[in-house]
Structure 1
Amino acid sequence: MDPKAGQDDKPFVFFGIDVIAGLPGETEELFEETYSFLKDRVRPAFIHVFPYSRRPGTVAAGWKDQVKDAVKTERVARLEALCGGLHTAFVERNRGRRSQVLWESDEKDGMMGGYTGNYIRVERPYDPVLVNMVEDITI
Structure 2
Amino acid sequence: MEPLFPLAPRYHLDDPQPWLRGIDPARRYWLWVNGDESVGTTVPGLSVSSFEEFKQAILRFRGLEPGDRMDIRRIIDGCTIHCVAANCYAIADTIDGAPVWHLFDGETLESLLMTAHPDWQPAPSDVELGRGMMERMFAQSMAA
TM-score (norm 1): 0.28
Larger RCO: 1 or 2 (CA < 8 Å, sep 6+): 2
Report which of the two has the higher share of helix.
Answer: 1
TM-score (norm 2): 0.27
Structure with larger Rg: 1
